Structure formats: structure tokens, C-alpha cells
Amino acid sequence: MLQKNVGFIGGGRATRIILGGLKKAAMIPMKVVVSDKDESTLLDLKERFPRITIAPNDNTASAASRDILFLSVHPSAFKSVAEEIRSRLNPNLIIISLMATVSISRLVEELGGIKKIMRMTPNAPSIVNAGFNPIAFSRGFPESDKDDVIKMLRALGTCPVVAESKLESYAILTAMGPTYLWFQLYELERLGREFGLNSREVEEGISEMAIGAVKTMRESGLSAEEVMDLVPVKPMGESEVKIKELYQKYLSALHESLRP
């Protein structure tokens, strides 16, 4: 359990994922305050995590006056949030921004020169301590504070320190990555039951298959072509070109829209 007091401005999915991962790792901080405009969002979080304090009516002051503050709002709302909390921030506050496209330099400017700022690209599997959450620190961020915050974030999974310029690319690759796979894996589970397997057999088979597929890519020493040739029967082979075209079309356009 962490001794730091932590605040969240924004109580949506990313906040729920982070709190879920910390809870599962038994690392929920001593004091957590979450502020959000939507009272139903806050009540849902309170039900899931009874130990937290919720700040209704968009009372951001309580969440902002912590040791660590997660900014978990839509980028379009950041300017108004910054104006509301700027004068209430402790100079020693650590700010962790979960917002895509809002640079560290803009965060420093809009938040009145706060120095301890970092950005993180959150990943949904963090909720089960298996996330991949790249982070980038502001220039001059004290090393001792880095160690403390990394220790907390490692409870969520892997958190490599990367160049800030790569965070938007990671957002498409890792933050959104599960969405490219989950619907297919759930459909395979459905079909497995339809084909006569029970739930345990389906869940075990799909889980081990997915883990093994990635291990084969990384540990076999084979080229991509050789890996994909290991299974001779490809029921969806005729659709592979179309699927890759969809990846290229939608993800390239998304990456272009996220570029500073």
C-alpha cells in the first residue's frame, strides 16, 4: 500500500483501469480522491473501490491537492481544467498525464510552470497487472521521484521510459491494440462452444494459443514468413490482404491525426 496521496481528475475508463490494477496488486494508495463532472461515474467508482473519496460537482480542488495527480480528461477539456486547478497546485506535485497529443511543454505552460510532469500511454490489461504503459518524463524530473512513481506504475505491468515523441505511436500500437484482437478472440470462444467444447476447454485453449502464438513470433528465430507457414491450413487466408488493408487505412489515418 502506498503512502502517497493520489488524485484523479477524470473518472472514466483509464482511471477505472489504473485503480483496478492497483487494487489487484494490493497497492491502492492510502488516500485517493477522484473528481469528475458526472456523478454517476463517481458513484460507480465508489462502488468498485469503496476506499476512495469522490469529489462531486466537479470539485477538482480536492483531487488536485495531492502528492500525485493523474490527469485523465479528454484533451479538448484540458485547457479549462488547467485554468481551474493552476493556482491550487503544490509546486512539488507530480503530475501524470494520460492525455494523448497534449505535450509536456504544453502541460508545463498551462499548469503554471509545474516541473514534475510525466506522460503515460495507458493500456487496458493494466487492470490485471499485465499492461504495457510507456512513460516519458519532463526535463529535470528528479531521479528519486522517478523511482517512486515507477514503483507504483510497475504494479500495472511494464512501463518503459521512452521518448515523448513516440507516445502517440504507442497509443495506436499498444493502448488500442487489444481492440484489434479482443473481438476476434471472443468470437473464437463463441464458436468453440458452438463446436462442442465447454467453457473451461474454450478459455484454456484460446489463452494458451494466444500466448503461444506471440512466443513463437518472438522466440522461434523464424522469419515472419516462416512463422506463418508453420500451419498449412489457413481458413481465412483469402481475407488476409483485405484485413491488412484495413489496418493500413484506419491506423495510418489515426496516426496522422495524432501527430503534433
Q: Are 115 and 95 in contact (CB under 8 A)?
A: no
- pTM comes to 0.92
Mean pLDDT over 83-103 rounds to: 92
DSSP-derived pairing of the beta strands 5-9 and 68-71: parallel
Euclidean distance between the first and the last CA atom of the chain, given in angstroms as a whole number: 37
pLDDT in tens, 188-230: 999 999 999 999 999 999 999 999 999 999 999 999 999 999 9
DSSP-derived pairing of the beta strands 135-137 and 117-120: antiparallel
Mean pLDDT over 87-113 rounds to: 93
Q: What is the pLDDT of residue 260?
A: 66
Provide φ and ψ at 176, rounded to 5°.
-90, -10
Q: What is the pLDDT of residue 236?
A: 93
Provide φ and ψ at 56, rounded to 5°.
-70, 175
Give 158's contacts (C-beta < 8 A, 6+ positions apart): 131, 132, 133
Q: Are 7 and 66 in contact (CB under 8 A)?
A: yes
DSSP-derived pairing of the beta strands 157-158 and 131-132: parallel
pLDDT in tens, 29-58: 889 999 998 999 999 999 999 999 998 765
Give yes or no for residue 59 having a pLDDT over 70. no
Q: What is the pLDDT of residue 3?
A: 66
Domain residue ranges in the chain: 5-163, 177-258
Mean pLDDT over 126-155 rounds to: 95
Span of 63-67, 122-126, 245-249 with lowest mean pLDDT: 63-67
Domain 5-163: give its CATH superfamily: NAD(P)-binding Rossmann-like Domain (3.40.50.720)
